[in-house]
Amino acid sequence: MAKRVGTVRSVRALRKRVAAWRAAGETVALVPTMGALHEGHLSLVRLAKKRADRAVVSIFVNPTQFAPSEDLGTYPRDEVGDRKKLAALDTDLIFSPTEKEMYPPDFSTRVQVADVSEGLCGASRPQFFSGVATVVAKLLIQCLPDIAVFGDKDYQQLLVVRRLARDLDIPVKIVGGPVVREPDGLAMSSRNAYLTPKERRIAPLLHSTIEDVAADIAAGRPIEDALTAGRERLIAAAFDLDYLELRDAQSLKPIEDEVDGPARVLVGAYLGRTRLIDNVAVPRKRP
Ligand code: AMP
């Protein structure tokens, strides 16, 4: 049977555990999550265990990244299930702080990462990335891990976190893990639980469409043509499209004429009331 995983709820207790590991010469990885864990999250925990001696998983549904109209109140929570899944992976510690621990009543600081936060998800969710940047900066400073692991699934978020760690000289290596998908291609997400059976049947089209757009672009189809075809396909299938774009994989700048380096096709769309995002790399042209 898997052993139990300890849970700490205060920064002080977290620091004490991490300090003991460090004193023993061990390395530490942090995997920040909002809980309701699925295989996507668990793949990051496995990666963390591979790259460091100790893996800490934080579970905190961060209120500062939700707009008042969004799903903070109904966001799925499953602390007991999460603890079992993490125990099976030999996770070393769960950090599950209270809201008061993270944001005392006079909390006054906001971290804002310009540039990579702008456009894509940042355009329609204006407070989202500053909420993410604020909580991730806090988690990194609270834990001071050697590495922190984030999923490619939230690709723009991964770049925001990389920029934040670099700009603020936080001594941590940010590691990205590949997107984990359902057998039909839908990227795993805690929010998939909101989909009705009918929406769930339509949802994999998000992934197949961006795969097709990426393949068409790699095959030399004019970029705007390929993007337009992808957008039209999703709209026809009842998605309320937020964006479908081709961007430079490092800078997230738009690519208009020609792909001459790593590039990604990114999409954000509502299916009914559920917001879904996904992204894929554009395959490299053979020389
Ligand atoms: P969340 O709990 O949604 O905030 O996600 C926590 C971390 O898990 C983030 O770094 C996400 O990018 C990552 N993640 C979520 N879904 C997936 C997935 N399907 N594949 C890989 N990573 C994921």
Domains of the chain and any CATH numbers: 6-177 (3.40.50.620), 190-281 (3.30.1300.10)
Q: Which atom number of ligand 1 is nearest to the Cα of residue 152?
A: 12
Per-residue pLDDT at 1 exceeds 70: no
Choice from 79, 125, 154, 182 to test ligand 1 binding pocket (greatest atom count within 8 A of CB): 154
Question: What's phi and psi for 9, nearest 5 deg?
Answer: -120, -5
pLDDT tens for each residue of 187-238: 999 999 999 999 999 999 999 999 999 999 999 999 999 999 999 999 999 9
Q: Which residues contact 246 (CB under 8 A, 6 or more apart)?
A: 213, 217, 223, 226, 227, 254, 255, 259, 263, 264, 265, 282
Gap between the Cα atoms of 185 and 204, Å rounded: 6
In the residue annotation, 38 being an active-site residue is answered as no
Per-residue pLDDT at 99 exceeds 70: yes
Average pLDDT, the chain: 96
Q: Whose CA is nearest to atom 10 of ligand 1?
A: 150
In contact, 255 and 223? CB cutoff 8 Å:
yes
Q: What is the pTM of this model?
A: 0.97
If one counts every other C-beta atom within 10 angstroms of the C-beta of residue 280, the result is: 21
Q: Is the CB of 150 under 6 A from ligand 1?
A: yes
Return the bridge partners of 263, or none. Answer: 248
Question: What is the total residue count of the chain?
Answer: 287
Q: Is the CB of 186 under 6 A from ligand 1?
A: no
pLDDT attached to residue 11 = 98
| Nearest Cα to Cα of residue 30 among 38, 18, 40, 20 | 18
Active-site hit among 36, 37, 41, 203: 41
For β-strands 240-248 and 263-271, DSSP reports them as: antiparallel
